[in-house]
């Protein structure tokens, strides 16, 4: 495994981290054992960055991750997040109020079964609470020894600057992949100006860049991707055509499409750390091996030209959800 530093003062992390898998896991079911096996194999491979949130799987993800890391906590760096709420009416909400910051942190520490969170992040910016108030409360968690470093997710450039001025951030977490390159215009340059690393979630385009999704019917009936514009039948036809070009290039290089997509992302800069999500050892091993793929400048440019921003059809989120990002 290769390693990269988060921010100017943050920890050294594996070049590829581990996000949550797309399939929800319940306690005691067979899939929990697969989840545990994947976590343990990740540690064996030198992956040390594990991403979670109190919003994942009804907060079960934190508990499951904590259980899986028992006995090996010293080998792991945990990211967890707060402030992204599922409201009773089915809509999404946010909460960045200082008192909620402290309540959420205490609850996450308990669920994870740890004494300190390595990187604590605001999952979504609360438009009704000044970011200085939220980040100020997060900074106090560092003073109290409950958190080592802080970061935020899905923030706009102006908010990112204000947050970093309040207390140094080690990372911003936002979607980034061959499929989602909007961050290259303003967000990524701002991160680099401020010395903030970029933790890229959905680096495989929520599975689209693996080449396994050929039609709408390939998406499970209960999978929320069925509601995402990118995966709607009318858009998927165009998008699968683009991925076929990635597949062809990957086959010529004797690597998997997912590995080539991750290698392209890693080649965008040493400040970028993708966190593909999986619950399965086979996928994990494939993802981890991508760090050893060295792309030439020409290969990087070929992929960049195929997946030029705007080439794909459909936004990454539904319109209502998009309103909550980039604030």
* Catalytic positions, written as ranges: 56
Neighbours of 52 (CB within 10 A): 25
Alpha carbon distances (Å) from 141 to 109, 134, 161, 167, 203: 12, 11, 20, 12, 30
Confirm if 215 and 239 have CB atoms less than 8 A apart: no
Vertex 306 angle, CA 298 and 302, to 5°: 5
**In DSSP terms, which residues pair with 49 in a beta bridge?**
77
Which residues contact residue 274 at a Cβ distance below 8 angstroms, ignoring those fewer than 6 apart?
Answer: 16, 17, 176, 177, 199, 200, 203, 262, 265, 266
Q: How far apart are CA 309 and CA 283, in angstroms?
A: 27
Confirm if 54 and 111 have CB atoms less than 8 A apart: yes
Q: How far apart are CA 258 and CA 27, in angstroms?
A: 29
Q: Are strands 84-86 and 92-94 parallel, antiparallel or unpaired?
A: antiparallel
Structure tokens at 76: 């792991």
In degrees rounded to 5, what are phi and psi of residue 142? -65, -45
């Amino acid at each position: 495994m290769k390693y990269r530093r988060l921010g100017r003062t943050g920890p050294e992390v594996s070049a590829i981290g581990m996000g949550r898998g797309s399939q929800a896991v319940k306690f005691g079911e067979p899939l929990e054992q697969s989840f545990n096996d994947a976590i343990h194999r990740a540690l064996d491979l030198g992956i040390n960055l594990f991403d979670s949130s109190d919003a994942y799987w009804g907060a079960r993800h934190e508990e499951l991750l904590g259980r899986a890391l028992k006995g090996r906590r010293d080998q792991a760096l945990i990211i967890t997040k707060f402030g992204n709420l599922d409201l009773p009416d089915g809509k999404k909400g946010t909460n960045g109020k200082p008192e909620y910051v402290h309540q959420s942190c205490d609850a996450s520490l308990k669920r994870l079964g740890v004494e300190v969170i390595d990187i604590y992040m605001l999952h979504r910016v609360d438009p009704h609470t000044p970011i200085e108030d939220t980040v100020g409360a997060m900074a106090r968690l560092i003073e109290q020894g409950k958190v080592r470093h802080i970061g935020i997710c899905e923030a706009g450039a102006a908010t990112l600057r204000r947050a970093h001025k309040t207390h140094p951030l080690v990372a911003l977490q936002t979607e980034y992949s061959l499929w989602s390159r909007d961050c290259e215009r303003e967000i990524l340059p701002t991160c680099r100006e401020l010395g903030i690393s970029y933790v890229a979630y959905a680096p495989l385009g929520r599975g689209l860049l693996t080449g396994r999704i050929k039609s709408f019917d390939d998406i499970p009936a209960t999978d929320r991707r069925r509601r995402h514009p990118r995966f709607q039948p009318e858009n998927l036809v165009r998008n699968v055509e683009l991925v076929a070009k990635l597949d062809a290039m990957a086959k010529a290089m004797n690597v998997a499409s997912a590995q080539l997509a991750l290698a392209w992302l890693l080649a965008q800069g040493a400040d970028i750390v993708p966190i593909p999500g999986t619950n399965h050892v086979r996928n994990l091993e494939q993802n981890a091996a991508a760090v050893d793929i060295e792309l030439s400048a020409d290969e990087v440019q070929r992929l960049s030209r195929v997946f030029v921003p705007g080439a794909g059809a459909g936004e990454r989120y539904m319109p209502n959800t998009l309103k909550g990002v980039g604030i």
